[in-house]
């Protein structure tokens, strides 16, 4: 599903999402990713919400976002509370939603000029 224009004033924009992956700035990602409001999109080794550790969210917290949108895959799944410690310690807000909703919400916040990071679980096909 196409979501937004491909670019918004040098911010990373999620252009589409679906079973094949997530498209950011015209590039298709078929594995889990971290999408900062600006800067490099990086692959993330998260696969399942319950398997995530504090180290996963430390990587996200190091970007110093105002808010993190955690996309838990095709269904709403929550990470274990102890995995969120790096965000809590820095006072970073986090919202959990399915990956499709996180992609849509990310683009809305980007269009408002917010410092947001999307941490998206993307399951490879096959």
Would you state the pLDDT for residue 98? Answer: 96
Let me know if residue 9 belongs to a domain: no
Let me know if residue 27 belongs to a domain: yes
Let me know if residue 8 belongs to a domain: no
Let me know if residue 33 belongs to a domain: yes
Would you state the pLDDT for residue 125? Answer: 57
pLDDT over threshold 90, residue 6: no
Question: If pLDDT is split at 50, 70 and 90, which confidence band does 7 have?
Answer: very low
Would you state the pLDDT for residue 4? Answer: 45
Give the chain's domain count. 1
Let me know if residue 32 belongs to a domain: yes
Domain containing residue 56: 14-120
Would you state the pLDDT for residue 46? Answer: 86
Would you state the pLDDT for residue 19? Answer: 86
pLDDT over threshold 80, residue 8: no
DSSP secondary structure, 5-61, as one string: -S-BTTB--EEEEETTEEEETTEEE-S-EEEESSS--EE----SGGG--HHHHHHHH
- Contact yes or no for 59/45 (Cβ under 8 A): no
3-class secondary structure, 106: helix
| Distance in angstroms (rounded) separating the CA atoms of residues 109 and 75 | 22
Q: Which of 37, 41, 91 is nearest to 69 (CA)?
A: 37
Q: Give the distance, in angstroms, between the CA of residue 114 and the centroid of all CA atoms in the same chain.
A: 14
CATH number at residue 72: 3.40.1230.10
Let me know if residue 125 belongs to a domain: no
- Contact yes or no for 119/34 (Cβ under 8 A): yes
Phi, psi of 7 (to 5 degrees): -140, 145
Would you state the pLDDT for residue 9? Answer: 58
| Distance in angstroms (rounded) separating the CA atoms of residues 12 and 98 | 19
Let me know if residue 78 belongs to a domain: yes
pLDDT over threshold 70, residue 114: yes
Question: If pLDDT is split at 50, 70 and 90, which confidence band does 47 have?
Answer: confident
Let me know if residue 4 belongs to a domain: no
Q: What is the pLDDT of residues 68-108, one digit of tens each?
A: 999 999 999 999 999 999 999 999 999 999 999 999 999 99
* Section 110-117 average pLDDT: 96
């Amino acid at each position: 599903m196409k979501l937004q224009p491909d670019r918004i004033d040098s911010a990373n924009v999620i252009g589409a999402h679906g079973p094949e992956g997530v498209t950011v700035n015209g590039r298709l990602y078929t594995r889990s990713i971290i999408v900062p409001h600006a800067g490099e999109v990086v692959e993330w080794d998260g696969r399942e919400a319950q398997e995530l550790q504090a180290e996963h969210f430390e990587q996200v917290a190091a970007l110093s976002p105002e808010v993190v949108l955690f996309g838990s895959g095709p269904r709403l799944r929550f990470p274990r509370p102890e995995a969120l410690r790096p965000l809590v310690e820095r006072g970073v807000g986090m919202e959990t939603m399915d990956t499709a909703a996180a992609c849509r919400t990310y683009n809305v916040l980007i269009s408002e000029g917010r410092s947001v990071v999307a941490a998206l679980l993307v399951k490879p096909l096959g």
